[in-house]
Amino acid sequence: MLRYFLQKPGLSSYQKWQLIAKVLDSLEHDFQEAFPNEPPIFLQGFRETLFALVTQP
């Protein structure tokens, strides 16, 4: 499904990166809810780095 949206015409590169960041954020959130005692699946600072990349013009 993600591939469908990434291949959809009319989306800018910025919008595609925003979509990827939101999907990864949702995956991390769901993982933490399912496995609360496990360490995060992404490295510390990953989310901040990704969002910094997609919010810069």
Tens-place pLDDT, residues 23-51: 888 888 888 899 888 887 776 677 677 77
Nearest to 28 by CA among 7, 12, 51: 51
Element holding 46 (H helix, E strand): helix 46-55
Q: Sign of the C-alpha dihedral, residues 37, 39, 45, 51? A: negative
pTM of this prediction? 0.65
- Residues spanned by the domain of 49: 2-55
Per the prediction, the chain carries an average pLDDT of 80
Tens-place pLDDT, residues 8-30: 889 888 888 888 888 888 888 88
Number of domains the chain is built from: 1
